[in-house]
Amino acid sequence: MSKRTLDYEERLTEALQMVAPGTPLRQAIENIVRARTGALLVLANEEEIRPMISGGIDIDVELSPMILYELAKMDGAILLDISGKHIIHANVQLMPDASIESQETGTRHRTAERVAKQIGALCISISAARDVVTLYSGQVRYIMEHIRSILDKADQALQTLEKFKNRLTQVSSSLAALEFEDAVTLYDVVSVLQRSEMVLVIAQEIERYIIELGTEGRLVELQLEELMVDVREEREAVLADYLPTLNAETLPKARMAFGSLESEELLSLTKLAELLGFPDEMNSLEKHVRPRGYCMLRRIPRLSRRQVESIVERYGSLQKVIDTSVDQLSTVEGIDTAKAKDVKEGLVRLRELNLLERYG
């Protein structure tokens, strides 16, 4: 994902948070839409926007939905501070740089777009003739949708996420079974990472819906939290297990690289293998690889992250942990005899469970 795309997403997220249901600003917007008076609201630093201001009334009062609604009955723009909590001016004429390109035809929308591009302010243009609210911030242009429409989209996205999560569970179980058989190939690893990233992409889309829904999105948020339990942690463990070189730099770098993939790049398993650190060679996806043991060990109850790291540092691979005795395992820092028995018994249970899921 490019820097420009990230900037666009960040600006849009901030704008949606400002006008989400449950906020005073959203309540005022809905009042204006119902009254069909139209309005141009600008949230900006006063020093930056002052050169564009002509005329108007100094207000300087705390934001109140009813006050903002009444001020919208006048023709000019209404200026708020950058936090959107204080009304500064009302009924002002804004004169942005006319050379700034705008695709809008209406005066209000064209002014909003140019102001947003010129100083990066959040501008909210509310159409008087139609129930349309458009957000502008920098290069962002976004038409707000009705809550019912967003809820429908969120519901569809949750259904899609559930299907993708089920597929991720299947490939993860398959990988776990292969780890116990010491039969993992690079193909198995990147298949899990591919499905993990697909799930995370859908989750990010739902997170935007939740932001846009505000107080109306609590149920959607709870469903998302339930579906996303351990997804990010499992992906982290897979990366830690299979990166050719694992240290404080390679793990965050790989995480960022996978998270920045475009949708079409996710379809190429060879591309994912390259990002993981394996060169593009003939039959590279058939390469036999061994896990360090992070995925399996983190699934053992009451085994802390530090204890997992100590075991992996000592043995270096899951197979060596499986082959070691309780007495040897109890010599690892932070692992006493009782904990060593828990680890060995836990691995046996996980092996039986995963082989049963894979072969029935």
- Find all residues with CB under 8 Å of 304, minimum gap 6, and list them: 334
Residue among 72, 79, 70 nearest 126 (CA): 72
Task: Tell me the C-alpha distance between 84 and 345, whole Å.
Answer: 58
**Helix axes 250-259 and 231-242, enclosed angle (nearest 10):** 130
Instruction: Name the DSSP class of 262.
Output: -
Task: Tell me the C-alpha distance between 80 and 89, whole Å.
Answer: 7
Task: Tell me the C-alpha distance between 104 and 136, whole Å.
Answer: 12
Reading the chain (360 residues) residue by residue, the pLDDT tens digits are 444 455 788 899 999 999 999 999 999 999 999 998 999 999 999 899 999 999 999 988 999 999 999 999 998 999 999 999 999 999 999 999 999 999 888 899 999 999 999 999 999 999 988 788 999 999 999 999 989 999 999 999 999 999 999 999 999 999 999 999 999 999 999 999 999 999 999 999 999 999 999 999 999 999 999 999 999 999 999 999 999 999 989 999 999 999 888 888 899 999 999 999 998 777 889 999 999 999 999 999 989 999 999 999 999 999 999 999 999 999 999 999 999 999 999 999 998 887 776 665
Instruction: Record the pTM.
Output: 0.84
For 68-125, what is the HEC assignment?
A: HHHHCCCCCEEEECCCCCEEEEEEEEECCCCCCCCCCCCHHHHHHHHHHHHHCCEEEE
Looking at residue 279, what is its pLDDT? 84
Question: Is-contact 76 56, C-beta < 8 A?
Answer: yes
Task: Tell me the C-alpha distance between 323 and 215, whole Å.
Answer: 53
Helix (H) / strand (E) containing 134 = strand 133-137
Domains observed in the chain:
3-144 (3.40.1700.10), 147-291 (1.20.1260.110), 292-360 (1.10.150.20)
Looking at residue 5, what is its pLDDT? 57
Residue among 118, 126, 3, 136 nearest 52 (CA): 118
Please classify residue 174 by burial: count the beta carbons closer than 10 Å to its beta carbon, then call 0-12 exposed, 13-18 middle and 19+ buried: middle
